[in-house]
Structure 1
Amino acid sequence: MLGMPLLLLDLDNTLLPRDAAFRAWAEDFLAENNLPAGDLDWLVMLDGSGYVPRSTVLGAAKRRYGIDRSVESMLGHYRLGINSHINCPDSHVRALREAREAGWTLGIVSNGGTRPQLEKIRLTGLAAMVDGWVISEEARCVKPDPLIFEIAARRCGFRPAGDWTAETWMVGDYGPADIAGAEATGLRSVWLHHGRPWAERGYRPTVSAPDLPEAVRLILGAAERPTAARGFAAAPGRKRPPRTRLAVPASRLAPSPTSSGPKAPFTRSMPFTGAVPLTPLGPVASPAKSPATTPSSPATASVAAAVTLPTAAQARWSDASTAAG
């Protein structure tokens, strides 16, 4: 599949408002156990937007409140509870529909446990809206490794021959995984700032946006505006990594259980929160000196000093006590 643009999207806090779902679950947890409602902010802080292992979060709650249940039992209850609060906002569904109608292929790239992430994709109807997905646990690689983006492209129907990165964008909310991975792979990117300033050094997104609908609007607009570089540059003052052909081990390419072609969007009613004004990106600060990490593929050579694979503490953790993002 060549000549058709590819839009890759992060799952948590990009396609799905994961933090809002956790907050709603935490409110229910406190109410159901007759615990102080004022502890909501403590639970949200401990959650760390999903970058703390679930066993750590629930273990801390068990000790704080003297809950006479195992962490494993609490984990099962947690997964059921948070899934009841997860949905894909109508504004996101409309944005995905607009991208598809404009001729874009859609894929999901998520760091996380296979079971919980797949449950979210299916329960929210995203399985019917995209052409494929890849989850780090089953793919045995995590963002920002270029391999996971290449696997996603293959599962969305792109073949080894040709420059698949030329018309591919990545949208995500987490710089060290989504944006660093996009640059290492040679993709253009949109960072969802959610009202935050850009704080990473040595790399930056092509452009920032407050939310997914605005990100899609920017991408579709860029595709319609011819420029010398076929869109935006990767980052001012930085040389783009070389384009690469797909070279993915066959064992990593189990296809996503979804058919290709136009999908019937699934909607659930949930008002989307108001947009945060777009924050233009400032100049990139000089990269902080740190030990270089061996690139995971040739495409990472030019950004290896600035882009490193996340440590266990940096990777977002899933809603089932395995690494997520």
Structure 2
Amino acid sequence: MDQAAAARDWARGFAQAWSLDERDAGVIAAASAQRRPKGEIFSMIVQCFSLPMTPEAAWSDYRAHMPDLVRCSDTDRSALRALRNAGWRLGIVTNGMVDNQEGKIRSTGLADLVDGWVISSEFGERKPEPSIFHELARRLECPLDGWMVGDSLETDVAGGLAVGLETAWITSAPATDPRPAPTVSAPTVKDAVDKILTGQR
């Protein structure tokens, strides 16, 4: 999912609702896309712009709108179908709140392309903790082997490596010497799937 684009769309609407300008919207979008606890992010946004609302209300607004703003490309969805056609079972491990994350999974059509998912807030553990990956395998009724595909070295790659998975890091600008080191890097899910299906390393 293109979370950054969705964050920009939400930030523009939020800024307009509070009579803020385009530059302010950019600041809000950049903040909301950060990999930090959301409570910290929305406290900063509310304080920075002296908004007459609580950080919890700002976060609630974000969560309410994001499921309708995120997008998954047709090429990435086709790549997931290719994996399933090749015999793979697919699952999602995601950090976040159930209403927000499950809303995204359903609105993007991913619910019909995967065999199940685990969301941190309902399970009680977050990536990269091994237990959340083991829970996904339990729900999918399959061994925990194969690949973890994700855009975070700290949660996706590290978490996958911790449970013995191969890892594909989705990044448009791969680091020269990433740590932890993924099995492969790719700019899109489709490119990662192509490598997985053809055995590229």
Return the alpha-carbon distance in structure 2 between the equivalents of residues 81 and 143 of structure 1: 24
Partner of 1:76: 60
**Aligned residue among 173, 186, 191 for 2:164:** 186
Partner of 1:117: 101
Measure how far apart 1:179 and its partner are: 0.9
**What fraction of aligned residue pairs are identical, expressed as a percent?**
37
Query: Is 1:104 the equivalent of 2:94?
Result: no
Partner of 1:217: 194
Superposition RMSD on alpha carbons, in Å? Answer: 2.0
Q: Which residue identity lines up with residue 17 of structure 1 in the other structure?
A: D
Over 3 Å counting, the alpha-carbon distance change for 1:100 and 1:73 in structure 2 is same
Partner of 1:208: 185
Partner of 2:31: 46
Higher helix share: 2
Structure with bigger RCO (C-alpha 8 Å, 6+ apart): 1
Q: Extract unaligned runs of 5+ from structure 1.
A: 1-15, 159-163, 223-230, 233-325
Return the alpha-carbon distance in structure 1 between the equivalents of residues 126 and 49 of structure 2: 35
Larger Rg: 1
Return the alpha-carbon distance in structure 1 between the equivalents of residues 176 and 121 of structure 2: 28
Partner of 2:47: 63
Residue deviations 1:155-175, cap 9 Å, x none?
1121xxxxx345x11101111
Return the alpha-carbon distance in structure 2 between the equivalents of residues 106 and 92 of structure 1: 13
Aligned partners of 1:46 and 1:52 also within 8 Å: no
Q: Which residue identity lines up with residue 74 of structure 2 in the other structure?
A: D
Measure how far apart 1:22 and its partner are: 0.4
Over 3 Å counting, the alpha-carbon distance change for 1:111 and 1:56 in structure 2 is same
Q: Extract unaligned runs of 5+ from structure 2.
A: none
Residue deviations 1:255-300, cap 9 Å, x none?
xxxxxxxxxxxxxxxxxxxxxxxxxxxxxxxxxxxxxxxxxxxxxx
Return the alpha-carbon distance in structure 2 between the equivalents of residues 72 and 182 of structure 1: 32
Aligned partners of 2:68 and 2:104 also within 8 Å: no
Q: Which residue identity lines up with residue 184 of structure 2 in the other structure?
A: V
Partner of 1:307: none
Measure how far apart 1:74 and its partner are: 2.5
Over 3 Å counting, the alpha-carbon distance change for 1:71 and 1:143 in structure 2 is closer
Return the alpha-carbon distance in structure 2 between the equivalents of residues 140 and 35 of structure 1: 37
Aligned partners of 1:17 and 1:88 also within 8 Å: yes
Residue deviations 1:285-318, cap 9 Å, x none?
xxxxxxxxxxxxxxxxxxxxxxxxxxxxxxxxxx
Return the alpha-carbon distance in structure 1 between the equivalents of residues 162 and 82 of structure 2: 28
Q: Which moved more, 1:169-178 or 1:52-61?
A: 52-61
Measure how far apart 1:189 and its partner are: 1.0
1:227-238 alignment, distance < 5 Å: none
**Aligned residue among 10, 14, 21 for 1:36:** 21
1:1-325 alignment, distance < 5 Å: 16-47=1-32, 49-158=33-142, 164-166=143-145, 168-197=146-175, 200-201=178-179, 203-222=180-199
Over 3 Å counting, the alpha-carbon distance change for 1:33 and 1:196 in structure 2 is farther
TM-score between both structures, scaled by the size of structure 2: 0.89
Q: Which moved more, 1:189-198 or 1:19-28?
A: 189-198
Over 3 Å counting, the alpha-carbon distance change for 1:26 and 1:172 in structure 2 is same
Over 3 Å counting, the alpha-carbon distance change for 1:62 and 1:140 in structure 2 is closer
**Partner SS state of residue 87, structure 2:** coil
Residue deviations 1:82-117, cap 9 Å, x none?
222112221221111111111111110112222321
Figure out how many residues of one structure are paired with residues of the other and give that number. 201
